[in-house]
Structure 1
Amino acid sequence: MGYRMKAMISDLLYSREFRNSMAGALTRKLIRATASRMKYSVDFQVDMLAVERPHYAWCMLNAARLGKALGHDRISAIEFGVAGGNGLAYMCDFAEHVKAVTGVAVECYGFDTGAGMPEPEGAYDLPYWFAAKQYRMDQAALQARVPQAKLVIGDIRETIAGFLDAHKPAPIGVMFNDTDYHSSTRESFRIFDEVAEKPEHFLPRIFMYFDDVLGSELEMYGEHNGQLRAIAELNAGQEAIRIHRNQNLIHQDYLPYRHQIYYGHLFEHPDYNRYIGEGRQDAIEGLLKLRA
């Protein structure tokens, strides 16, 4: 197959029209069904949305690559709000692919009450949509399904404070936040309180996914309630850490998760300014050279 034909096929596969069509859905199903025989690359499967949770996979792969560029052979991924456990189970399963592709192991942690959501703290927690005891966990079944997962059970107001000392996690590079409430999201950000004293437990930039920033006319998420309010409060309260929505995926309108990926910048982390542009910058510079 010639280069031009390959380019045309690639343009088709990655187009919004194809991704959103019945043909695109069937192609994803075919890729998933034949993955074990055809040996597609993991990146191809993620790019084609042919994995169960492409947003989790994308964050984990890129965090591992950042960790590797900074000299780490292990990183940590955290899910805040585990509920039934399907997300955490996927993290543990996909961690094997991350290790195979990047050489970087991923430790998977899950924070949850274990008994469903706590009482809403107030209006900012959207009590018209969320209620106490929703999304309960079968802890025994989940731990049996993924014994390698590290569960942190209890109210996040109490469990977040001693997490770093108790577990000594590899550098945290991924956070999936599905805590629903403004108050619980706010409390999850307390994990950043010890960055200055214990930077070895963090990558300088963190891939983040927020589940509850897009929704229906019933949820009515916005910057003044829920998770978006918690993000705004963190950013307004100090300057060392900033969380913002990504600027590299939001124009790729075939990605259903593009508006839910955020980046956490730990500006005072000792590795924040460490150069990681080798290879990529060389390629860009080569393209910019004057042609004869």
Structure 2
Amino acid sequence: MKALISRLLYTREFRNSLWGAMARGLIRRTAKRMKYSVDFQVDMLAVDRPHYAWCMLGAARLAKRLGHDRISAIEFGVAGGNGLAYMCDFARDVERVTGVKVDCYGFETGQGMPEPEGPYDLPYWFAASQYKMDRAALEARVPEAHLVLGDIDETIDGFLESHKPAPIGVIFNDTDYHSSTRDSFRIFRQVKNRPEHFLPRIFMYFDDVLGSEFEMYAEHNGQLRAIAELNAEQKAIRIHRNQNLIHQDYLPYRHQIYYGHLFDHPNYNTYIGEGRQEAIEDRLKLRT
């Protein structure tokens, strides 16, 4: 019976039903008293931003296997600040569960979106000055957040030198434009000279790769075009959509999680299979 109930909870039909909404509400209301695991709450979508939470937990666990006790999480495109605020709040859960601290950075113009650079920026959908930030309110809400203000094109190149971040393990990209997404990728130009500021594999979330019939996102515009261009222009870095969540159709964010592979990172080949590989090998042993 327990296994049957567990399978039911993880179906798309249940998650999208009134019963699923009621279950998520019940989990939220009783979380402190029942002391559910953080992973259970995230997997049940009973947190505000399960996609942010999933990436942050994954990056922290990867970092721990690589011997790090601190990482950085970056949000490109802060807008109102709800995402950055959630990152800072959830960082406490990440540290409690994994022992890894998370420093949270937010890149934002402070004045809303810049002018579109051209047709690849979807100017039929996005416009200058949209999504302005209330800086004073955000800084009061999350004083521990590190804001990097200005156009990404102007702030990205000096970021590692000026902030000296712990290894970057998570990047949430909500810059909307092709041009801004493309410029954010310039942070990877410094992997070879400053590998200490990166994990060898990075959990990434792209907000603007799914949308309505009005947005019409595709490989030839917006964020998807920026990803394709990066992958085509060099071999040291590859960004690709995950292959481990896309079949789990109860996760609404499954098609927006990507991974960044930094092949030239000195720790890329460091073995992290302890425990899991042994368990897999044991299951494959011939039974007599």
User: Could you state the TM-score of these two structures normalised by the residue count of structure 2?
Assistant: 0.99
In structure 2, C-alpha distance between the alignment counterparts of 1:92 and 1:158, rounded to whole Å = 25
Determine whether 1:128 maps to 2:124: yes
Determine whether 1:33 maps to 2:29: yes
Aligned AA (2:8): L
Match of 1:177 among 173, 178, 185: 173
In the other structure, the counterpart of 2:141 is: 145
In the other structure, the counterpart of 1:67 is: 63
Match of 1:191 among 187, 194, 198: 187
In structure 1, C-alpha distance between the alignment counterparts of 2:144 and 2:67, rounded to whole Å = 24
How many residue pairs get aligned? The number is: 288
Match of 2:99 among 100, 103, 109: 103
Shift of the alpha carbon at 1:199?
A: 0.2
Shift of the alpha carbon at 1:197?
A: 0.1
Aligned AA (2:161): D
Give the 4+ runs in structure 1 shifted more than 6 A: none
Shift of the alpha carbon at 1:218?
A: 0.5
Identity of aligned residues (%): 82
Superposition pairs of residues 1-292 of structure 1, within 5 angstroms: 5-292=1-288
Shift of the alpha carbon at 1:151?
A: 0.1
Aligned AA (1:31): I
Return 5+ residue gaps in structure 2 as ranges: none
In structure 2, C-alpha distance between the alignment counterparts of 1:62 and 1:36, rounded to whole Å = 23
Shift of the alpha carbon at 1:277?
A: 0.3
Q: Secondary structure at the match of 2:110?
A: coil
In structure 1, C-alpha distance between the alignment counterparts of 2:223 and 2:64, rounded to whole Å = 30
Q: Deviations over 1:18-62 (max 9, x none)?
A: 111110111001101111111000000000000000000000000
Shift of the alpha carbon at 1:131?
A: 0.2
Shift of the alpha carbon at 1:14?
A: 1.0
Shift of the alpha carbon at 1:6?
A: 1.9
Aligned AA (2:73): A
User: What CA RMSD, in Å, does the superposition of the two structures yield over aligned residues?
Assistant: 0.5
Q: Secondary structure at the match of 1:44?
A: helix
User: Could you state the TM-score of these two structures normalised by the residue count of structure 1?
Assistant: 0.98
In structure 1, C-alpha distance between the alignment counterparts of 2:234 and 2:285, rounded to whole Å = 42
Aligned AA (2:173): N
Return 5+ residue gaps in structure 1 as ranges: none
